[in-house]
Amino acid sequence: MKVPLLDLSAHHMPIQQEILKAVEAVFKSQVFILGTEVEKLEKNIAAYCRTTHAIGVSSGTDALLVSLMALEIGPGDEVITSPYSFFATAGAITRVGATPVFVDIDPATYNINPGLIEQATTPRTKAIIPVHLYGQCADMGPILEIARKHSLAVIEDAAQAIGAEYSDGERAGSMGAVGCFSFFPTKNLGALGDGGMVVTHDPDIAERVRVLRVHGSESKYYHKRVGGNFRLDAIQAAVLNVKLAYLDQWTRQRQENAQEYLLLFKESGLIENQRVILPKMVYEFVVPYYHIYNQFVIRVLDQDALNRDALNRDSLRAYLQQAGIGTEVYYPVPLHLQECFHTLGYKEGDFPCAESAARETLALPIFPGLSRAQQWYVVKTIQSFYGS
């Protein structure tokens, strides 16, 4: 049996006609950059995320970059973030000339550990970028409290978490000063190319992002600040307007698939034997809807990291590959150990929780359209890897 990590065609085929019609309408309008489809998407996303403003941008990376620019964060400033994320989170901080300051993660959720943030603040700290990794909100309560106490801006990297909730129905992206989203095709709401969104409650920040999006010009050819080309394409916006209507349904399917894995893994005995640790749903008792499972990530305990024949994450991954099951490692190298950041002076051992996560985690297929039989096959194959 073949089980891909992600089957985009399962997403797109049932709504192919609707998508192509929307693309054709943009073609007929001959308006390809910004325009009414982008404006419509901005309204839709603001409503979906429960914020007052949304500004369509060129990617999730550019959403982070333009947010930092709008908050006037630059050389000499420090920004606290997680060492265990996609590269763009720290890359954007560096690109505005500021310094990323990493804080280790909570080993159960893989999100930044709020208990370690305060000791990392200095007089130069300007912002915190929590990442809602894999589709689960970081622990925003204490993060916002520390930010208030030290007058720091909070920029939520919600690229993997559209629609995720923290508590009281607060949605990812709506809790900090700014929220950043990505429409990269593998995200829960994916375009047919690159795209992103900045959301905020603050009208001034919204206006600054809008101006920076078009090279810092409020009126054409007059530039108050140096911005960039951070614009969203009309075709991508039109496709996203179609797909947004299906997002809740897809999220529900991801959550049902996660529940099914929980049952299958419980029955397998792999959890009792401490072979596999499943995603922990910390806020389950508050909001059952909180986790949107952009990824379903298990931890494969690595008790004997030096033994190359050991039953570890990498050998399990190879075994699953042989059996036709696609998996991925998010992320094999934590950000503080990336070559481009060696001048920051971090070394191995600085963030043990991020480092063990990089060694031990494995993302399994969770996409909407995954069948029960496929999930059963995934868990059975993991069982047979452990010879049980």
Give how far Cα 113 sits from Cα of 104, 182, 226, 306, 354, Å. Answer: 6, 23, 35, 28, 11
Stretch that binds ligand PLP, among 6-14, 27-35, 57-65, 119-127 (CB under 6 A): 57-65
- Which residues inside 112-151 make contact with ligand PLP, applying CB under 6 A? 131
**Interface with ligand PLP: number of residues (CB under 6 A):** 15
How many alpha carbons fall within 13 Å on the CB side of residue 194? 10
Report, in Å, the least distance between residue 189 CB and ligand PLP. Answer: 11
Contact 109, 141 (CB under 8 A): no
For residue 38, the tally of other CB atoms under 10 A from its CB is 25
Stretch that binds ligand PLP, among 39-47, 153-161, 257-265, 313-321 (CB under 6 A): 153-161
Q: To 10 degrees, what angle do helices 234-244 and 16-29 make? A: 150
In the bound state with ligand PLP, the residue whose beta carbon lies nearer, of 110 and 184, is: 184
Q: Is 196 in the site for ligand PLP (CB under 6 A)?
A: yes
Q: Of 102, 63, 47, whose CA–CA distance to 55 is shortest?
A: 63
In the bound state with ligand PLP, the residue whose beta carbon lies nearer, of 181 and 283, is: 181
How many alpha carbons fall within 13 Å on the CB side of residue 282? 15
Among 157, 165, 170, 233, binds ligand PLP (CB under 6 A): 157
Amino acid of residue 388 = S
- Which residues inside 65-104 make contact with ligand PLP, applying CB under 6 A? 85-86, 88-89
Report, in Å, the least distance between residue 135 CB and ligand PLP. Answer: 10
Report, in Å, the least distance between residue 60 CB and ligand PLP. Answer: 2
Q: Which residue is nearest to ligand PLP (CB)?
A: 60
Report, in Å, the least distance between residue 151 CB and ligand PLP. Answer: 25
3-state helix, strand, coil in the chain (%, to 5): 40, 15, 45
**Beta strands 296-300 and 276-277: pairing type?**
antiparallel
In the bound state with ligand PLP, the residue whose beta carbon lies nearer, of 88 and 199, is: 88
In the bound state with ligand PLP, the residue whose beta carbon lies nearer, of 76 and 332, is: 332
Report, in Å, the least distance between residue 59 CB and ligand PLP. Answer: 4
Report, in Å, the least distance between residue 379 CB and ligand PLP. Answer: 26
Q: Is 60 in the site for ligand PLP (CB under 6 A)?
A: yes
Cα 113 from Cα 338, distance rounded (Å): 21
Report, in Å, the least distance between residue 209 CB and ligand PLP. Answer: 16
With a CB cutoff of 8 Å and minimum separation 6, the contacts of 291 are 134, 135, 136, 164, 255, 258, 279, 281, 283
Report, in Å, the least distance between residue 197 CB and ligand PLP. Answer: 10
Among 184, 265, 283, 331, binds ligand PLP (CB under 6 A): 184
Among 7, 45, 53, 61, binds ligand PLP (CB under 6 A): 61
Stretch that binds ligand PLP, among 15-23, 55-63, 137-145, 147-155 (CB under 6 A): 55-63
For residue 160, the tally of other CB atoms under 10 A from its CB is 27
Q: Please, is 49 exposed, middle or buried when counting C-beta atoms within 10 Å of its C-beta (0-12, 13-18, 19+)?
A: buried
H/E segment holding residue 244: helix 234-244
Interacting residues with ligand PLP (CB under 6 A): 59-61, 85-86, 88-89, 131, 157, 159-160, 182, 184, 194, 196
